[in-house]
Structure formats: C-alpha cells, structure tokens
Amino acid sequence: MADRYQLWGGCFEEEPSAVLKRLNDSLGVDSRLYREDVFGSKAWARELFRSGHLSQNDHDALQSGLDKVVQEIEQDLSLKGSLKDPEEDIHSVVERRLHTHAGEAALRLHTARSRNDQSATDTRLWMLASTHRLRNTLIELITVLVKRAEMEIDIIAPGYTHLQRAQPVRWSHFLLSHTWSLKDDVMRLEEQMKRISRCPLGSGAIAGCALAIDRNRLARDLGFEDVTPNSMFAVSSRDHIVEFLNWATLCSLHLSRLAEDLIIYSSQEFGFIRFSDQFSTGSSLMPQKRNPDGLELVRGAAGLMLGTSVAFNCVLKGLPSTYNKDLQSDKELLFASYDKLLDCLKVVTGSVKTMEVNREKAQSALEPGMLATDIAHALVRRGVPFRRAHHLVGAVLRRATALGVDLQHMSHAEYLAICPDFGSEEELRAIFSWEASVEQYTSVGGTSMSSVRVQLQELNTWINQTQK
C-alpha cells in the first residue's frame, strides 16, 4: 500500500541504494516548509474544485484532512524536534499523512500538479513571509540607530579615513552613515519581494497544466501578486534565490563594517564605547578580558554569506533546462543564510541598543591637527586659492613639528611669518573649536547640527511610513 502512494517509482522494481537515498532525501531540510506545503495544497484543492475537477465531498475531505496534517506535524515537531517519517521530502510526508485522514480523496490532490511547481511555490511562499520578517528586523535596527543618533547628537568624535584621524564629526553623523546603508538594504529587499511574489503553481513539471484552471485566481488565493509567465521558467528559475543570497551578502557586509567600527571603538586604545554584558564575553584564561565576540561573529558571517552566494551561483551556471536535481540544494543554502542573517541583525541591534558611549573619551581623542582643513578653509574665505592654502597649512604643520608644539599652541607670529593672510590672533584662535568646526558643514549630508537633524527627520518620516 505504501508504494501505491509514493510520489514516484511506479516503473521501478528496486529501491534506491542507501547512499543515494542519503544524498537524495531532503526531509531534514524542507520539513521547514510544511505550513507552506499544506497552505499550497489547500489552495490547489480549492482550484481543482472550482474548475470542476474535484467533487464537493473530496474537496471537504482534503481541506479537513490537511488541517489535521498540520496539527500532527506541529505536535511531532514539538515533541521530537524533527520529523521521523520515512519519506524523502515534506511533500511526500504531507500526502501520505493526508491519506490516513482523507482516504481516497488524497489520491486526487496531486492531479495535474508536479513536485516541480509545488516545491517552487512552497519556497516562494516561505520567502515572502521570511523576507518580510527580515525587513521588519532591519527597520528595528535602523530605528535603534536613529534613536541613539538623536540622543547623542551633541557628542563630537574623531572621524577617520585610512583609520587615521581626519576631521571632527558628530557621533550621530557616524551612526547615520551606517543607517543609510541599511535603509538601502530595506529598499532593495522590498523591490526584490515583487519578483518573488509570482506564483508558479499550475505550471506542472515543464509544459503547464492540462486542466482548465484559473492560475490568476489561484495566485490571488495564495497571496501572490502575479503568476509566473512561462511554465519552463517557473519550475527552473532560481533567480529570486540568487537575488536573495546576493542581497544577504551585501546586507551582511554592511553589518560587518558597522561591527568592525564598533569593535575598534570598544578597544582599550580607543575606549569610545563599552558593550553590555549581554553582548560581551570573557576569556578562559585572562580574567580582565572583555571581548566583543557577538560583533566578531557578525563580521565573520559576512564571509560565509559571500561563500554561500558564490556556491549557489556555481550550481546554476551550467544547468540545462529545466528542472534538475542540482536545484534541490537551493533551500539548504537559502535557510542557512536567512537564519544566520536574522541572528546577526538581532545581535547588532542588541549591541547598539545597550552599548555605552564615553563622550569624554571620544572628545579627548580629538587633537588640533584635525583642524588643519579648517585653517585652510579660513584662508580660502580670505581669497587664497585652495591649492595655495593647502600648501601653506602644510608649511604650518612642518613648522609646528619642528618647534614641538601642536597647531593650537604655535604662536601667532609663526603663522604670520608663513603667510600674513592668517589674520588676527583672535580670528586664528577661534578656529580651534570642535563645535565651530562641525558647524561649518551645513550643506545637505554634512555633520552640522542642522544637517544631522535633517537626516534624522527624513529617516524618522520613512520609519513611520514603513510601519503603517
């Protein structure tokens, strides 16, 4: 009786070898799709009934039976942690269990449906729900960054290029520099979700559906925005998974760069921030150690994401049309990337939300040499061409080094000896103000108070709109 309901194998006399079965079976991976498989099956049963290919009694038995299958699987997963069914995949498990509840009606459910379009539909349904969850988690991280930027807008810290002190910036400006990258990730994900939301069901194995069904109605019933336009494309294309893996790589790269900055700033050499106990670990040998392991794991995950993306592209690059079993690896890689990225987002969100910022330590890292550009700008405002001003400030730096003083404490006379356009001593000394320095940058995207507030307003408006 069991062979009778196997999804394939009618013309086979022998079972697959144990090693092939081990390589072939995917239940350990795709059991995660049991809700989507049942949801899709219920919709397929409704469409068969609406189009006259299923009786009322069979339809009712299938709907009731599928509800019981979900309850059974949920109970098994709750008690055992995984499914122990002998079938090779979740589709076979659902169909065999359905037969115990719906009887002969279960044999009609697979009418005109292939595992090819069934599996493709399950995966897209899962991706729609999961990408929405990732989107919301990303927005939560963005919200945390924006709130911190609002609270800490008056903190001024060194800005770095080449990991060398460059110019003073508002700490908020630094936080928002990462926030904008993450916002772009949300927008890219939303745009990608439109292509995911195309229903493959009704495409059959390759040629389409031989029965008169309404694929558009079926798609709406499942919550899709559209249908796939070609049956061969529907069962073989994994572009949406490639896009997601590439997107996950870019998003994890952004998280990694934020993590790297925060790791550096938390070191004893910098000391700008301190992570909470929740997101720090210690050393098994050195009691004094406080390690940012959470963010280090986030940083490492970016490399793994890239590897996964490249690996799946390599699987696809030489495949002939249409479905080939190589594609079975799609869900294993998809689920692994999703799980890791979701955890990384939560770790970064928690780390940023609970970290302490030491404003005194940040400001103590500022040094007068970082205002060299400000001195050049002062000369430009007095009509000196920038290239000449740049050269003159370079001469000032050389002279200060020779005298063993910093720019702020070099005498006014030394400045005038290099160039009389440096102005009065009062004007020169006014340049050495961290607040005055950052407040020069009032253009859009600058680090002045007004420019940072514009960024905050724009981001808050966007957050409120996305949460409606």
Q: Which residues are known catalytic residues?
A: 162, 283
Q: Do β-strands 226-227 and 273-274 pair in parallel, antiparallel, or remain unpaired? A: unpaired
- CA dihedral sign, ordered 95, 99, 102, 106: positive
| Helices 34-50 and 115-151, axial angle in degrees (round to 10) | 130
Please name the helix (run of DSSP H) or strand (run of DSSP E) that holds residue 328, with its range, or none.
Answer: none
* Alpha-carbon gap, residue 46 to 60, rounded angstroms: 9
Task: With beta carbons less than 8 A apart as the criterion, state whether 98 and 66 touch.
Answer: yes
CA distance readout (Å), 385 to 301, 372, 424, 440, 452: 48, 16, 19, 19, 29
The answer to whether 303 and 388 have CB atoms below 8 angstroms apart is no
The answer to whether residues 327 and 120 touch, using CB atoms and an 8 Å cutoff, is no
Whether the CB-CB separation of 370 and 166 falls below 8 Å is answered with yes
Q: How many Å apart are CA 280 and CA 354, to the nearest integer?
A: 11
What is the distance between the alpha carbons of residues 202 and 118, in angstroms, rounded to a whole number?
A: 9
Q: Are strands 226-227 and 198-199 parallel, antiparallel or unpaired?
A: parallel
The C-alpha atoms of residue 113 and residue 87 are separated, in whole angstroms, by 19
135-170: b or e for each residue (b if 16 or more CB lie within 10 Å)? bebbbbbbbbbbbbbeebbebbbbbeeeeeeebbbb
Q: Whose CA is closest to 143, among 284, 337, 352?
A: 352
- Token pair for 453: 């507030």
Nearest C-alpha neighbor of 200 from the set 244, 241, 247: 241
Instruction: Check: CB of residue 45 under 8 Å from CB of residue 59.
Output: yes
Which residues are paired to 170 by β-bridges?
156
